[in-house]
Structure formats: structure tokens, C-alpha cells
Amino acid sequence: MAVPVPLVFNAPRRGMPPTHLADLDSEGRKAAVKELGLPGFRADQLARQYYGRLEADVDKMTDLPASMREKVGEALFPTLLTPVKHVACDDGTTRKTLWKANDGTLLESVLMRYPDRATLCISSQAGCGMACPFCATGQAGLTRNLSTAEIVDQVRSAAAAMRDGDVAGGEGRLSNVVFMGMGEPLANYKRVVAAVRRITSPAPEGLGLSQRSVTVSTVGLAPAIRKLADEGLSVTLAVSLHTPDDELRDTLVPVNNRWSVKEVLDAARYYADKTGRRVSIEYALIKDVNDQPWRADMLGKKLHKALGSLVHVNLIPLNPTPGSEWDAAPKDVEREFVRRVIAQGVSCTVRDTRGQEIAAACGQLAAEN
């Protein structure tokens, strides 16, 4: 008869932080409390505290006996992220947070409050291995993947900040989450998908945001896009294309050397067909690099052919990084680019830019520190 191996829930995983409640699904939580010698109902109780009440401090979990709190805290609520600094602009409605993980790793999130919504931009990796030359995170390289719980806790923290009125505008509710912070989400696929499920499942299984209010961005990992399409999720897919031609994209987005523009758009079409969701195409407009009228025409034609009406172009005025050779395209060039894409039958708008004065481009704040 095999001897069961005891589960150790607070042991650090190689290259990753110790296990947290948010790393565990329902069965995992039940196993965890059982291993701690606690009755099974405590699993649901702890999940309701974390996901429902947005509470991560066991000392404030008053329905948990005081004698249990230290043991539960060590096993299931290790401190994952500590804020190093909050930097605000836009009259306090945009707040960027620099976080330090328990191994010293730095990462960032940005909370943006609008009149009709509050959007959190989160990181899925510390750094990024995609090496896009115009991106501050890409210049820094990849440190490591974030754990599921490190991703989820960025969202829980922002939801609590909105609820408690810590962001200008008073008490409110976090409504949208975009995986557009540090890292390539689909390069940390398993943990990102698990985090999406935690973020969107109703309490006590998760934070209860709508899947349609979650956007997962990628530079174009075509096989992972297809895999995501088969997950049964209805999140928005955002593809960072940045140019419609392979010659330039090989330089701007080096992963294009593995998956061409056509392969990426074919995968995006598969995602649109499987989910019924319109795909967002992200395009950082860079002066004298990818802002030519003929590229706008080519972009519109390729997208219309590949995706028809199931696509929208999100034109992004480049947020230059310090010392970079790259700069934003002039406004008249931007307007002409938008006009030409629309002329090809493809929806196109310019993203509202926020936080340039607080280094809100991904990776800038971490680089400064």
C-alpha cells in the first residue's frame, strides 16, 4: 500500500512564490484546509473572505478563530506583493503601482478611472522575453513568470481600492481588467488562464468580473491563440500587430520570425469564429517607422480580408521611453492613418492615452527603480 505524500502548501516552488489561496481551485482549497487539520467548511469561508470581501489579512478574518489565524496565514495567505510606491496623475484618476514580490522582483499595475468604468492594467510576467525594441518592458528582458495568485492579487487589491474610495472620485467598483502590463500573457499560459477563471468566477470561486470585461493581449503566439479559443472563455483577444508587413514586423515584434502576420491573423480569425468576439488589433503608431499611408491601406485590407467585421483597430500613440530613438507620430499623420484604415471597411479609433507624466508605459517605473 502506497504511503500518501503530505501536501505542503507553504513551500516555495522553484522560481515561484509560495502557494497562496488564489493559486488553488475549489478542490485544492478543500485539500489545503484538510491538510491543516481544519473542517472542510473553512475552505469556502476563506474563499469568501478573499474573493467576496477582498480581504487578504487573516487577522481581519473575524469569522476565523484567533487560534487558527497564524497557521492559516502562513499556509494560505503569504504576502505576495508589497506596494513600493503609488504614483498618480489625471487629477488622481490614474494610479500606477510599483509592486515588490517576496523575492524582490518588481512589477507594475495601472488603475484608470473613467466616468463610466474603472480599468486595471495588470502584469502577467516580471519583465518580458519578447524583445520588442520600442517597449520598456521588452528592453528589460524577462525575470520570471508571475504565479496565478500574484496576477489575481493585483486585481483584488485594485477592487478593494475602488471599493474603499482610495482612488479619486470616491467609492466605486472595478469593472474591467486588461492583461496589457508587463509580460506576454500567452507565454505564461497556464497561470494566466487560471487567473482569468479566478477573476471572472462568482464568489466564492472568484472575484466575479464579467469575462467580456477582461482583455488578454498577445504579440501573436499563434498556437496559444488557438488554444485560448478552445478554453470556452469569452474574453476579448487583443493582438499587438504594430505593422501589417512581415519585413518590418520581424524587427518590431521579433516573434514574427516564428509566426508570420498571416499565421497570426488566421489564428485571430479562429478565435473570433470560436468565441463570436471581435478581435482588437493593437497598433503603436511610431513616427517614420510604421505610420506611412500605404501601411494603413495594407493594414485595413489584410484585416478586412482575414476578419471581416470581427475586428477593431486600437491605434496607440507611442509613449516614448527615456533615451529611446522611437517617437509618437504627429497628430495629422495619426488622423490620416485612421481615415485610411476606416476606408478599407475596418473600425479604427485612437486609444485614450493616460499617465505619460508618471511613466505609465509598461516597464518604465520598474526600470527607474
The set of catalytic residues is: 108, 362
Beta strands 142-145 and 125-127 are: antiparallel
Cβ neighbour number for residue 258 with a 10 Å cutoff: 11
Nearest Cα residue to 242 out of 314, 347, 165: 314
From the number of C-beta atoms within 10 Å of its C-beta (0-12, 13-18, 19+), residue 201 rates as middle
- Amino acid symbol at 202: P
Residue with cell 483577444: 237
| DSSP helix/strand/coil, 82 | strand
DSSP string, 27-38: HHHHHHHHHTT-
Whether the CB-CB separation of 285 and 328 falls below 8 Å is answered with yes
Q: Is the Cβ–Cβ distance between 73 and 80 less than 8 Å?
A: no
Neighbour count for residue 202 (Cβ, 10 Å): 11
The verdict on whether omega for the bond into residue 204 sits within 30 degrees of 0, i.e. cis, is yes
| 94-101 vs 106-113, strand pairing mode | antiparallel
Which triple of cell numbers denotes residue 155? 486585481
**Beta strands, E only, the chain:** 81-89, 94-101, 106-113, 118-121, 125-127, 142-145, 176-179, 214-218, 236-240, 279-285, 311-317, 347-350
Distance of CA 125 to the CA centre of its chain: 9
